[in-house]
Structure 1
Amino acid sequence: MQLKPPFKIAVLAFIVIYINACSGNVIPDLSRLYKTAELPSRSRQAHSNDIQPPVILLHGAFGSRLNDRETNEEHWPGSLWRILFSDYEDIALAIDAESLMPATSTLVATDVTDEVVGKDYYGAIIRTLEQVGGYARGIPGEKKDADGRQYYLFVYDWREDNAQTSLQSFSSRLRDDVMRNS
C-alpha cells in the first residue's frame, strides 16, 4: 500500500518537528531569572539584595574531597587510576564496636568535588551563582559583604550521617549571621 502525498507530507512534517523538538538545547536566560528573583526591600533606602536569603549548597554522596588532617594528602576522589582500581580501604570509616558510631577518622572533608576526571559536578552551579546570580561565597561567622548575596558550601564527610555532621548547627550559625548583619 502506498501513502497518498498529503499523508506523506504530514508524516514528514511530524518527523521533522519531532526531531527538532528532541534535539533542542535550550539554555535558560539565567541573568533574567536572577534579576527577577530579587526580593522587595524592607525600606525604601535598602537594596533588594539586603534581604536576599543565603543559598546553602549541599553536595551529595561522594561530593566532598577527603584529605588527611595532618598531611593534607587527598584521599578522595583522587586520580582516575585511583577511582577505577582502588579498594578504598584507606577511606573506609571504622565503626566503634560498643557505640556503633563512627570512630574518629584522620580524614576530613575539605571542599566540594567541583570536577572529577574531567567531569564537572559542582563547579557549574558555583560559577552560575557567582557570575550570573551575583552571589559571593560566604563563610559562617565572618562578616558578609555589605551589599551582596551570599552562598555557603556545607562541606561534610559523606561517609557519615548528616545529623552527625551538624547541618542543624551550620544553619543556626547562618541564621545568627543573617540576623547580626540585618
Structure 2
Amino acid sequence: MLKFKDIFKLARPYRLQLQLFFGFNVFAALFNVVSIGVIIPFLKVIFKENINDLTPVELTSNTETWLAYFDYQTSVKIAEWGQSQTLIYFSIGLVLAFLLKNLFVYLSFYNLAFIRSAVVRDIRERLYNHILRLPIGYFNKEKRGDTLSRFTNDVKEVEWSLLGVIELYFKHPIAILIPLVT
C-alpha cells in the first residue's frame, strides 16, 4: 500500500483539475446551505406562520440575525406581492438553489472522474513500458496471466486509493466546515 504522499504525487500533473474539483465542492457546499436556508421561509409561507413582523434588522455575522433578516424580507415581500406571489418566487429560488447545488456536485464528480482516468492511464502506460523492457526470460518463469492479474489488481488498488485521498483532503472537510461556519 502506497503512502498518501506517494499516491498524491500521481495526481500532481493534474493540479488544475484538482483546483476545479476543490472549487466546485466549495460551491456545492455553499449552495447546499443556501438551499436549506431557502426552505425555511418557503415553509413559513406555506403553513402561514406569523411572519408579519416588519421591523428592520441589521445584518451581522451572527446566524440568528441572518434568520431574522430573512424573516423580515419574507414579511416585506408578502406585504408587497401577496402570499401566493411570494410563494411562487420562493419556489423558483428553491428550485434554482437545488439546481445550482446539483450542478456543482456533478461538475466536481466530472473532474474527479477525469483525474482518476488520467492517473490510471499514466500508471498503465508506465506498466506497459516496464513490461516491454523486461527480459524474455522473465516470461518463461512467470505465467502471463499471473503477471497481468497482478498489474490489473495493483492499478485498481492505486485508483481507489487515489480517490480516497482526494475525497479525504478536498471533499469531506469542505462538506463539514462550510455548514458549520455558516
Determine which structure has more spread, i.e. the larger CA radius of gyration.
Answer: 2
* Structure with more relative contact order (C-alpha pairs < 8 Å, separation 6 or more): 2
Structure having the higher strand fraction is 1
